[in-house]
Amino acid sequence: MTEQKYFRKGFKMRENVQHLLDRDYRSEVVDRVRENGNVFEADGLTIRLADEFGFCYGVDRAVDYAFQTREKFPGRRIFITGDMIHNASMNDRLREMGIEFLSTGFEGPPEEAFEDLSPEDVVLLPAFGAPIDWVEKLRQKDCVVVDTTCGSVLSVWKRVTRYAGRGFTSIIHGKYYHEETKATASQTLRDGGNGKYLIVRNLKETGYVTDFILGRMGVEELTERLAHGMSPGFDPEEDLQRVGVANQTTMLMSETMAVGEELRKAMAERYGAENIEEHFELFDTICSATQDRQDALFGLLENTLDLMVVIGGYNSSNTNNLAIIADERVPRSYHIASGDCIEGDTIRHKPAGTPLNSGEEIEESGWLPDGPVRIGLTAGASTPNSQIGLAIGRILEARGLAPQIALD
C-alpha cells in the first residue's frame, strides 16, 4: 500500500495527547479568574482579563497537530519549516520533543535544509503556512507533510489566487519579511496566476501607492520606496491599473480597512466611480480571532486602569498590535514575552511599536506602583494560558502575595 504523504486534518489522536496539552498549556489560575468574571481582587490589587485572549482556534489546532505528529511517528525524524507560532516557549517545547527546525526567525530555510531531507522524514508546515516553492521542494523530496496552515490564512490565499487569476495585482497589507505574508504573496502564482503583488506595511506606504496612481509620484520614486515589497519584474505603470486588497491576518483591523479605503478612493478618482469594479476589489479577510482579541482589548480599556500587561512573543504580529493599542491608551503599558519577564520590582519588556525583528527588550524597575492598583491583562493568539497564569502569579508575588491566593 502506498504511504499517505500529505495530512491536513490531523490523525484523530487528540485523546492520546490531551494530557500533555493540558500539562503544558492549561492554567488553573486562568480558569479560576475566568469563572470570576475575568476579574481578580486582593489586598488593593485588581487584575482584569480581556474577554478574549490567548490561543485562538488556528494556533490550538497547529499545536495539537504537532503533538499528534510526534505521537504518530515516534521513530522518525520530524522537522518544521520555521517557528510553529511566534511563541518562544511553544517552539522550545517542540525542540524538547525532538522536532527539528529547518530555519528560525523570518528568513526561511536555506537550500541545504531541503537537500538533507528524505522520503522517511516528516515535515510540519506552521500555522502561517509556507510559500509554494517550499511545498514543491518537499513534494520533490517525497516527504510526509503535515499541514497546519490556519483556515483564516487559507481564506486570504483564496482571494489572492482569485485576484491573480483575473489579472489583478494583489496589494497585501502586511510585513514583507513575515512568513505569512511571504506565503500569501506566493499564492499569486497558483493555478497559472500572474504572480503580481505589492506589500504595504501601513498607511504611509499606502500613500506612496495612491500618489503614484494619481500621478503625484513617478515610477522611480515608488520603486525606490517600496522595492522590498514588489514582486519580481513589477511594473507600476502596468501592474497598478487593476488591484485587489488582501492582508496578513494579524494586522490591525482598522488599519487594513483604512488601507483598502484609501486605495478604493484613488482608483475611483483615477478611473471613475462607475468603473471601479474593473479596477479594484476588496474582501474582508480579517482573521476573526485577531479581530475578537482587538475588540476585547478595546472593551477592557473602557475600565479605568493604572497599567496594562500584554503577553506574547516579541515577533508575534498580533501581540505587537495589541501592545500598540494598549500603549496608546494606558501610559504604563508593558509587552512581555512570557510570565517570567516579571521578577518582583523589575519587568523586562519590548517597547510598543518597535519592529518585530528588532529583538529589543528593556528592563525597568519600579514598574508596579504601591497602594491600590488596577491592572489590565491580555495576550496574543499564540500565548498559552500557562504563560498568562504565570504572569498573574508573578504579579501577586511582586505585591508580596502568595500565588496560591488566586486559587483560594
Burial (CB < 10 A; 0-12, 13-18, 19+), residue 226, is buried
Say how far apart CA 305 and CA 295 lie, in whole Å. Answer: 17
* Integer Cα distance of 235 and 67 in angstroms: 45
List of E strands, 75-117:
78-80, 99-101
- What amino acid occupies position 329? R
DSSP 350: B
Q: Residues 54, 388: contact at Cβ < 8 Å? A: yes
Going across the sheet that includes 39-42, the strands are 39-42, 45-49, 373-379, 307-311, 333-336
Longest Cα separation, the chain: 69
* Residue 17 contacts residue 65 (beta carbons within 8 Å): no
Helix (H) or strand (E) holding 281, with range, is strand 280-282
Query: How far is the C-alpha of 406 from the C-alpha of 42, rounded, in Å?
Result: 9
Catalytic residue selected from 100, 112, 115, 180: 180
- Catalytic residue at 100? no
C-alpha cell at 312: 506574547
User: Which region, left, alpha or beta, applies to residue 309 given φ > 0 means left and ψ of -120 to 50 means alpha?
Assistant: beta
Apex CA 178: angle with CA 176 and CA 182, to 5°? Answer: 70
Q: How many CB atoms lie within 10 A of CB 121?
A: 19
What letters, b where the CB count within 10 A reaches 16 and e where it falls short, cover 238-273?
A: ebbbbbbbbbbbbbbbebbbebbebbbbbbeebbee
What is the DSSP code (8-state) at residue 61? Answer: H
Which set of grid coordinates corresponds to residue 94? 517542540
DSSP state of 55: -
Q: Indicate which residues carry an active-site annotation.
A: 180
